Amino acid sequence: MTIDLSDDTNTDLGRDLSPCIGVCLIEPKSRYCYGCTRTLPEIAQWRKKTDDGKYAMLRDRKRRRAIIDVNKVAS
């Protein structure tokens, strides 16, 4: 399975597949983290997710990033 992470600053996800880049701030409207684009519940449950569940969220990062960017401009 290939996942395009070319828009991410952290492409080395390591064994835990964590997209965290250490920028932990929640965008108020979408509730996505500015850094990793996960929601707080996703962050809390990350280690319990299957690899398929993690990859599903990672595949959605470009869409989530676009939502965060639109909300930033609209603010």
6 within a domain of the structure (yes/no): no
2 within a domain of the structure (yes/no): no
Number of domains in the chain: 1
User: Measuring CA to CA, which residue among 35, 30, 10 is closest to residue 73?
Assistant: 30
CA dihedral 43, 39, 67, 3 (to 10 degrees): 30
pLDDT digits (tens, 9 = 90+) for 19-47: 999 999 999 999 999 999 999 999 999 99
12 within a domain of the structure (yes/no): no
69 within a domain of the structure (yes/no): yes
Share of the chain above pLDDT 70, in %: 79
Contact present, 19 and 56 (Cβ < 8 Å): no
Max avg pLDDT among 1-5, 29-33, 46-50, 55-59: 29-33
Q: Is the pLDDT confidence value at 11 over 50?
A: no
pLDDT of residue 74: 84
Phi first, then psi, for residue 44 (nearest 5°) are: -65, -35
Q: By mean pLDDT, which of 8-12, 27-31, 61-65, 67-71 is the weakest?
A: 8-12
Question: In terms of residue numbers, what domain contains 72?
Answer: 24-75
